[in-house]
Structure 1
């Protein structure tokens, strides 16, 4: 869209009045997830505070958050690296040493 506006008048004021901007933006809430440490997280997948849906806290929500996170990683290689990092952190803990 910005390329179209730039080509139409190089971004000068009112140069893009005739350009079709498309449908207006409509926000759709998909939910909120947050990890709070120590294998706990918050998951809120409701459409609104009064709406139906899933709202959890604790260990189960931590696994839901991790599942959602791993599905959003782009490549299988990076998914593998993230998963291995999670496993090594689970076994050995976080590395807190300084170099």
Structure 2
């Protein structure tokens, strides 16, 4: 594929929409993590909410690194993998639903 066929306005729009969706998903995960932290009486680290996007395993690793910067005794990797895998499952269900609805 040549550059003039790939690098078009539609391609750039799709990439920008993907970046916005990824940022919104991460921000929503952190906000929901904060809500869970408040509801549980500070038993849940809100950083695991940011791992809910389906970027396995990088999102969980980023949560781990950010948690370690704040508190060196934090070990969030395994707890962050749960929402990370749930994000993958949710993405697969959403993709299957969209294919079933619009794939005809």
TM tier relative to shorter chain: under 0.3
Higher RCO (CA 8 Å, separation ≥ 6 residues): 2
Normalising to structure 2: TM-score of the pair?
Answer: 0.27
State the TM-score, normalizing by the size of structure 1.
0.28
